[in-house]
């Protein structure tokens, strides 16, 4: 069972905008010209395609592997296991600080004396050898 949602209302600006759009659509009548709309869409897509073709080409997208700044491509993402194209992947940990636990003095000493029984409050553990 879902929660009842709070009533949502459009802002005055949004209401005015959609009413204005509705009036524009109503003013055109029911005779909407689909061919003209398709022509406008095709013209817009043509302009976008021409812009892309003039600003980018496959020849301009070539990568010079002999460039000093070229370091290669990692294939398959960051967890691909080190597969490289055009170079070798060198992994070094020389500049990495590995934090190790500190050794606390005195913890390794064996305490002499009787160990406390974990069986219960003074009760003997069943099946234990009685030394009495």
Q: Give domain status of residue 83, yes or no.
A: yes
Residue 107: the pLDDT is 57
Spatial CB neighbours of 84, under 8 Å, sequence gap ≥ 6: 72, 73, 74, 75
Q: Give domain status of residue 77, yes or no.
A: yes
Q: Give domain status of residue 92, yes or no.
A: yes
Q: How many domains does the chain have?
A: 1
Q: Give domain status of residue 88, yes or no.
A: yes
Q: Give domain status of residue 10, yes or no.
A: no
- Whether the model clears a pTM of 0.75, i.e. scores above it, the answer is no
Q: Give domain status of residue 126, yes or no.
A: no
pLDDT digits (tens, 9 = 90+) for 37-90: 899 999 999 888 887 766 777 777 778 888 888 888 878 767 666 677 777 777
Residue 70: the pLDDT is 84
Residue 42: the pLDDT is 95
Spatial CB neighbours of 72, under 8 Å, sequence gap ≥ 6: 84, 85, 86, 87, 88, 89
Q: Note down the domain range covering 84.
A: 73-102
pLDDT digits (tens, 9 = 90+) for 96-129: 898 888 877 665 555 665 666 666 666 777 777 6
């Amino acid at each position: 069972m879902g929660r009842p949602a709070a009533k949502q209302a459009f802002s005055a600006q949004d209401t005015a905008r959609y009413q204005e759009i509705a009036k524009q659509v109503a003013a055109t009548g029911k005779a909407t010209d689909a061919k003209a709309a398709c022509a406008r869409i095709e013209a817009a897509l043509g302009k976008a395609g021409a812009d892309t073709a003039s600003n980018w080409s496959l020849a301009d997208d070539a990568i010079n592997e002999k460039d000093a700044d070229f370091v290669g491509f990692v294939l398959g993402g960051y967890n691909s296991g080190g597969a490289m194209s055009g170079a070798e992947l060198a992994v070094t940990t020389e500049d990495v600080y590995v934090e190790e636990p500190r050794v606390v003095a005195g913890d390794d000493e064996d305490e002499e004396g009787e160990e406390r029984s974990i069986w219960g409050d003074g009760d003997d553990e069943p099946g234990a050898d009685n030394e009495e």
